[in-house]
Structure 1
């Protein structure tokens, strides 16, 4: 934890907001510093050194408050060297509690308040209280303690900022949520203004803080209030050019045609600030074209548009295979490319906007198209089998045909069930009191950050859960989003998902056997020997005598490849007791340490457990590792769709090919906490926790609730905050 060496808070630049500069410069609304404090941020003045040298005991006391040396602070106070009611230099009026607050020293702050320190004492250049100092830097634990100790949240500093303004300036969503749930409404208005008539949501929009903007909108903040320059939050969001902030405001009714005092709307400002691209994307995702005109949706019912997206690939698969079977290769490939390109363009322009306006390269993957592609492939396989293969092979391959029909039936049933299934949703909390209780508990144990609290659902995060934008809910034991079933895979449908994959690849195997027999039948009927190089006569005969059936079989085998990869990864993960999400997180773990405080953690060292302290001292990503981390390319997306990226991770981790991911359980290697040994892991995944049910039901049925086995013990995944203790033998480890 860093230490603030000296000074008071930084000043905000004061510039006339009605001037031309208020549009072309960020200076007029430059927020109070929200980054870790430093000497240059908060300079005291020229006579600082001489003042400190005149009182070395006060200087030593201040240093102890800054560094969190509670023993030294206690010693000096109890020996009478420091008077708690006058523990500051007269020229700066900054108390020991100020220094403890701005350096996140909770232990020192508690001691000083317990000894009578004034929690509302104003000091420094900005005449701010310790509460203001802590809020400016997002120290939610200090803010909570000071409020509990009687600090007044309605007080303002010399800039006219109160607790809510400074919390927004910190850009720490955890502090913003704390203030919203515990202070706003009863003590501070959500639309309180500073001397320039700037509301908290205007500050958040200017800072490009999408999380705070979303939270303020949830609390019904008025985004129409303009500052003294006529700028609304949407105007300042346009200046900043943060797409998500723009989207939140426009979706909630922000007027992008409203003029400032300089008669400039968002389009003019975006041109001057060169943020046109961000504004255009936000407009498109909010249902407007680049000129701000509402996009016409051809389907009033979004479900109808989704159904058309889902059905289109059925026709495309059959049409393309028929073209490939009929025309010569060059012409067929040309037509295939044109048909595929035209179909996707039409869907994106006329159909998909009726239910999804998301932009970006991966947005198409979050539509039902790939699920329709998979289902359409199964339909055409069934058509070929029923009309051609079955009549010719029903007596020669009765077992393969019977098994194919069984696997096909199971596959289609599971597919429909998976598309409509609940993967294990925990929806948004609508009541204030449960949220307050959860926040207070997390503060008590030092876990109030985005790892343990969901800023989207306002609920405490169970272990192994993840928020899904697709389902707009927390998904317990989240595995991954699968575009092939157009749904998330989680606790309640994970086993069903693997059974679906197994039935799919088993059905393909039976179809292959039946098709080979069918091609042999065609060869015998034609009384002609076909030769195609290394391929068997039957395959060659199928290619020449029923090209359409041959192409359907080929397409099916290609589909089976990615299914096989996916099954291999999924079975490996059940063997290791981990999920796809946990596997990916492990591979990104070291990268996360180098990307800043992405979890908004401000836990004082007083409350940190051994794991948090260890993570705090971990080295950042070295240059060689950093060079290997690249944005996901088009090829990477394709690999992800067929599971090759997970295969690479598994192979590297299992055989020690990656320094970032180690799945081995040798003592010198990093291990997953959820790995209880392969026998226990398999039981945890495949068996229901209800021991009174028959074994076949425990094995075949999916979870009906949030209770499941973990480490051989029944746990409630909806309230899983600690993992069960290991109960396995060393020889069970792999």
Structure 2
């Protein structure tokens, strides 16, 4: 017996090992989506008049099934393998037949098959969310245990059907329900499913981390360790970690960075002519500092190392300016400009880091309502629903896996601030880049002023090579700080110009620009980045971004991207779209 859901491609599975819980009746759970779709597209048999009701059910031949039922066939009668018509309709996602059979008296929770499963169990194993919704609406009991000892939510976890997991929990099934062995879904995921999901997904529903199974007395973490599931171990440890401990680790990382950068400069400035000795000391220092962060702060927090490096660089830049450059520049306008620039940099760095970039938020009840609504309207897919945050994704948003949250009008996760850049803090980020460039520019200028006052040679009189040798001998520390300033000036200026170009001339974020460029490579015609619904022209783009009316010349369009799910066009936007 075969049908579009049990087509010729899977015939060989009927004589060999079968996926857990399917017996001889189901589709191979590990086959890809394209193969499943190919089976759905199989042509119907030419003559259905001689089709028995099981084959007609598998193929979804509604009229033939209706004819046989009205002729007296009992829809509750199982076939010779103890499988009911409702089972066959459920596994092949025949929604109309399920409704018809139930209306004719089919038992919605009838057990059948090798593993004594209900139609709901079969639908869950196959990942048919519409069928799961229909069966639950018709009274199916998701708490029933199948022949392998699994309830509905355990099966959804085992087969990694995240939308079904979300829907079952939202409809009231407990995330801490136990199977026949006393394992919760979180234990089963940590033990049986190698990888970060669905363990990370289940943690969104606040399951118990300390409950133990009734046989081995293991917690979810014990099961993850026993299975060697490193990703699950990380997720579980992260779920139980303390925010206070996290802050202490970040402070230690910053202090370690400040001390290391001072030590590098001290070694370079050491009163010795032996560069071999200095080189050996630097190698030893880097070896030691490469070990300490791993033990003190852990691998996960090393993502903040660039941020610590930036802040440490600015700290020593400021100290160098104040201690070495102040006597030569005291009272000069340049000195006060530097002080203003560094204060502004610190302010906008803090605002970029501390301001909510546009994290989408919803209460647990709102999440469940949204999941049910999206599922029952057929919209519970990854384009509109974030399986990590359990929310409907706003327009132009993206889930950041570092911050573990969806960010409205997502631009990037900034390496140098350790924060996402999005709708809430993007304008602060622009000023952060601008004033960082200013700070570094002033320190570069101050370095040359210092050398001209304290070194015995000049570039004009002695040439480049002699000049370089002299400034290295004169003050290696100043040269070290100059190199730091030049590095930070280069990347900050480049990002600033790139950001201003995207904002003013394209009306796009960095993520949108990169995504469109990737799409363009796979299209026959070149995709113009200027012709998008978000590009309103130079003045309007800037007015919208900075929410500035430019003294009444332009009217900014106010859009709350944290709750914008459909495009609402400003009059200027409609004009642009008509021209595209």
CA displacement 1:308-363 (0-9 Å, x = unmatched):
321332333233223223444333232223223323423432x32xxxx4x4xxx3
- Deviation of 1:301 after TM superposition, in Å, equals 6.1
- Structure 1 partner of 2:35: none
- Structure 1 partner of 2:562: 718
- Deviation of 1:148 after TM superposition, in Å, equals 0.9
- Structure 2 partner of 1:418: 352
- Structure 2 partner of 1:647: none
1:194-233 aligned within 5 A: 194=180, 196=181, 198-208=183-193, 210-214=196-200, 215=202, 218-220=206-208, 223-227=211-215
Contact 2:536 2:576 in 1 (8 A): no
Q: Distance in 2 between matches of 1:132 and 1:447?
A: 22
- Deviation of 1:720 after TM superposition, in Å, equals 2.3
* Higher mean displacement: 214-223 or 379-388: 214-223
- Deviation of 1:545 after TM superposition, in Å, equals 3.6
Contact 1:208 1:240 in 2 (8 A): no
- Structure 1 partner of 2:496: 567
Contact 1:424 1:475 in 2 (8 A): yes
- Structure 1 partner of 2:286: 340
Aligned in 2, Cα 1:732/1:530: closer, same or farther, shift over 3 Å?
farther
Contact 2:357 2:426 in 1 (8 A): yes
- Deviation of 1:62 after TM superposition, in Å, equals 5.0
Q: Distance in 2 between matches of 1:669 and 1:113?
A: 54
Equivalent residue in structure 2 for 1:306, among 235, 246, 250 = 250
Q: Distance in 2 between matches of 1:115 and 1:466?
A: 47
* Higher mean displacement: 488-497 or 102-111: 102-111
- Structure 2 partner of 1:245: 232
- Structure 1 partner of 2:179: 193
CA displacement 1:465-495 (0-9 Å, x = unmatched):
3444655543322333334223222221112
- Deviation of 1:501 after TM superposition, in Å, equals 0.8
With structure 1 as the length reference, what TM-score do the two structures score? Answer: 0.63
Q: Distance in 1 between matches of 2:29 and 2:481?
A: 70
Q: Distance in 2 between matches of 1:379 and 1:527?
A: 29
Q: Distance in 1 between matches of 2:524 and 2:30?
A: 46
- Structure 1 partner of 2:482: 553
Q: Secondary structure at the match of 2:464?
A: coil
Q: Secondary structure at the match of 1:426?
A: coil
Q: Distance in 2 between matches of 1:406 and 1:378?
A: 14
- Structure 1 partner of 2:151: 162
Contact 2:535 2:541 in 1 (8 A): no
Contact 2:386 2:399 in 1 (8 A): yes
- Deviation of 1:171 after TM superposition, in Å, equals 1.9
Equivalent residue in structure 2 for 1:493, among 417, 425, 434 = 425
Contact 1:77 1:83 in 2 (8 A): no
CA displacement 1:351-386 (0-9 Å, x = unmatched):
32xxxx4x4xxx35323x432321222233233333
Q: Distance in 2 between matches of 1:222 and 1:316?
A: 40
Equivalent residue in structure 1 for 2:316, among 380, 386, 389 = 380
- Structure 1 partner of 2:576: 729
CA displacement 1:641-669 (0-9 Å, x = unmatched):
xxxxxxxxxxxx4xxxxxx44289x9824
Equivalent residue in structure 2 for 1:329, among 253, 268, 275 = 275
1:65-84 aligned within 5 A: 65-66=57-58, 72-74=61-63, 77=66
Aligned in 2, Cα 1:390/1:252: closer, same or farther, shift over 3 Å?
closer
Contact 1:530 1:541 in 2 (8 A): no
Q: Secondary structure at the match of 1:174?
A: helix
1:143 and 2:79 aligned: no
Contact 2:108 2:119 in 1 (8 A): yes
Contact 1:428 1:473 in 2 (8 A): no
With structure 2 as the length reference, what TM-score do the two structures score? Answer: 0.77
Q: Distance in 1 between matches of 2:226 and 2:459?
A: 77
Aligned in 2, Cα 1:401/1:668: closer, same or farther, shift over 3 Å?
same
Contact 2:371 2:390 in 1 (8 A): no
Contact 2:108 2:135 in 1 (8 A): yes
- Deviation of 1:239 after TM superposition, in Å, equals 4.7
Q: Distance in 1 between matches of 2:173 and 2:206?
A: 12
- Structure 2 partner of 1:129: 118
Aligned in 2, Cα 1:339/1:169: closer, same or farther, shift over 3 Å?
closer
- Structure 2 partner of 1:702: none
Equivalent residue in structure 2 for 1:576, among 488, 492, 506 = 506
Contact 2:269 2:477 in 1 (8 A): yes
Contact 2:78 2:85 in 1 (8 A): no
Q: Distance in 1 between matches of 2:262 and 2:579?
A: 50
- Equivalent pairs, count: 551
Q: CA RMSD in A?
A: 4.7
Aligned in 2, Cα 1:332/1:343: closer, same or farther, shift over 3 Å?
same
- Structure 1 partner of 2:341: 407
- Deviation of 1:411 after TM superposition, in Å, equals 1.2
- Deviation of 1:565 after TM superposition, in Å, equals 3.6
Contact 1:371 1:484 in 2 (8 A): yes
CA displacement 1:220-265 (0-9 Å, x = unmatched):
37741234x7776556534532113334556789xxxxxxxxxxxx
Q: Distance in 2 between matches of 1:204 and 1:192?
A: 13
Q: Distance in 2 between matches of 1:682 and 1:242?
A: 53
- Deviation of 1:111 after TM superposition, in Å, equals 5.7
Q: Distance in 2 between matches of 1:489 and 1:141?
A: 37
Aligned in 2, Cα 1:681/1:492: closer, same or farther, shift over 3 Å?
farther
- Structure 2 partner of 1:366: 303
1:662 and 2:506 aligned: no
* Higher mean displacement: 121-130 or 678-687: 678-687
1:545-624 aligned within 5 A: 545-574=474-503, 575-582=505-512, 586=515
Contact 1:126 1:158 in 2 (8 A): yes
Q: Distance in 2 between matches of 1:75 and 1:579?
A: 55
Q: Secondary structure at the match of 1:481?
A: strand
Q: Distance in 2 between matches of 1:389 and 1:232?
A: 60
Unaligned runs of 5+ in 2: 32-44
Q: Secondary structure at the match of 1:150?
A: coil
Q: Secondary structure at the match of 2:574?
A: coil
Q: Distance in 2 between matches of 1:39 and 1:470?
A: 34
Contact 1:414 1:496 in 2 (8 A): yes
Contact 2:257 2:312 in 1 (8 A): yes
Contact 1:171 1:212 in 2 (8 A): yes
Contact 2:130 2:376 in 1 (8 A): no
Q: Distance in 2 between matches of 1:404 and 1:731?
A: 48
